């Protein structure tokens, strides 16, 4: 029987690429989305047209604890079991000192840290039965800090930290790892100029931006690496070593 995975924020960009790579490897995909219903339905319909019942889409706002709870229940109904959870969904925006407030705290902490913890708690029992995987998508910028992004970085640093805690708590049946992307895609809705891109690339030893498949291939590597747990893999073209 095919294995099944829940991918949060899976309708577009990196989440979509993770879905495509795992689906191509024969996995059944449970694709979570919030507002990108058109993209989510198009991807799921495409998967199902090529392999019947190989994908579901579930809508949930990760800012709402009740919807997170329902996402857990709905996920378990899809295939009756679960092999992997990829915590990929993320809200990203700057919070300079003047914009540090409760509203921004909630918006950034919920999707990047709180929901991943609650999804892990809700789904660990099912994943344990299948000796499965949890992968958290964090951010290379945790290592050095990202100017004007204190709340986002605090959330991702928390996600790095809980990766190690859950790797201990959920061993030996579940492996829990994280991937820290470097410069992969422009933030949603942002278009960097050629000069801005060149400035970023100058700081990357491999002298190029990454793309979505660099992250989805790392997901596959972790899923297939039976002796790796509690690790944060930097996928950043070497940016973190200079």
- Which active-site residues does the annotation give? 152
Q: Is there binding between residue 188 and ligand NAP (CB under 6 A)?
A: yes
Instruction: Pick the binder of ligand NAP from 4, 28, 110, 133 (CB under 6 A).
Output: 110
| Contact (CB, 8 A) for 138 and 232 | yes
- Given a contact cutoff of 8 angstroms between Cβ atoms, the answer to whether 154 and 209 are in contact is no
Least distance (Å) between residue 48 CB and ligand NAP = 19
Q: Measured at CB, which residue is nearest to ligand NAP? A: 9
Per CB under 6 A, the list member of 4, 6, 7, 13 interacting with ligand NAP is: 13
Contacts of ligand NAP in 153-172 (CB under 6 A): none
For residues 19 and 13, the answer to whether their CB atoms sit within 8 Å is no
Q: How far is residue 138 from each of residues 61, 224, 234, 235, measured CA to CA in Å?
A: 19, 20, 9, 10
Task: State which residue, 97 or 190, has the beta carbon closest to ligand NAP.
Answer: 190
The rounded distance, in Å, linking the Cα atoms of 11 and 57 is 9
Query: Site residues for ligand NAP, window 121-160 (CB under 6 A)?
Result: 137, 139
Output b/e per residue, 124-162; b: 16+ Cβ within 10 A: bebbeeeebbbbbbbbbbbbeebeebbbbbbbbbbbbeb
CA distance linking residue 121 with residue 50, whole number of Å? 33
* Interacting positions 47-106 with ligand NAP (CB under 6 A): 61-63, 88-92
Interface with ligand NAP includes 3 (CB under 6 A)? no
The DSSP element (H or E) to which 6 belongs, if any, is strand 4-7
* Residue from the set 35, 49, 101, 171 that interacts with ligand NAP by CB under 6 A: 35
From the list 19-27, 71-79, 165-173, 184-192, the region that binds ligand NAP by CB under 6 A is 184-192
Among 4, 5, 7, 15, binds ligand NAP (CB under 6 A): 15
Stretch that binds ligand NAP, among 29-37, 72-80, 121-129, 167-175 (CB under 6 A): 29-37
Comparison of 74 and 128: residue with beta carbon closer to ligand NAP = 74
| Spatial separation of the C-alpha atoms in residues 2 and 154, rounded to whole Å | 36
Which position has the token pair 């996928």?
235
Contact predicate 6/82, CB 8 Å: yes
Q: Which residues bind ligand NAP (CB under 6 A)?
A: 9, 11-15, 33-36, 61-63, 88-92, 110-111, 137, 139, 181, 183-185, 188
């Amino acid at each position: 029987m095919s294995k099944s995975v829940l991918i949060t924020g899976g309708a577009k960009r990196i989440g979509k690429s993770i879905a495509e790579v795992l689906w191509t490897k024969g996995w059944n995909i449970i694709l979570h989305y919030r507002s990108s219903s058109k993209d989510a339905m198009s991807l799921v319909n495409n998967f199902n047209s090529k392999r019947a019942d190989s994908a579901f889409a579930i809508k949930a706002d990760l800012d709402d604890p009740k919807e997170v709870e329902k996402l857990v229940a709905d996920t378990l109904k899809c295939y009756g079991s679960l092999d992997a959870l990829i915590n990929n969904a993320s809200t990203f925006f700057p919070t300079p000192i003047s914009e540090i407030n409760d509203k921004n705290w909630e918006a950034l902490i919920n999707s990047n840290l709180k929901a991943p913890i609650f999804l892990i708690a809700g789904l660990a029992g099912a994943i344990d039965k299948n000796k499965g995987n949890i992968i958290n998508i964090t951010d290379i910028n945790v290592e050095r800090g990202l100017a004007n992004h204190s709340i986002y970085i605090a959330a991702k640093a928390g996600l790095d930290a809980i990766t190690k805690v859950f790797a201990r708590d959920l061993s030996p049946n579940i492996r829990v790892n994280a991937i820290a992307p470097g410069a992969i895609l422009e933030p949603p809705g942002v278009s960097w100029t050629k000069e801005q891109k060149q400035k970023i690339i100058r700081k990357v030893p491999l002298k190029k931006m990454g793309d979505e498949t660099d992250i989805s291939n790392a997901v596959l590597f972790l899923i297939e690496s039976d002796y790796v747990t509690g690790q944060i893999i930097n996928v950043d073209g070497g940016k973190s070593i200079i």
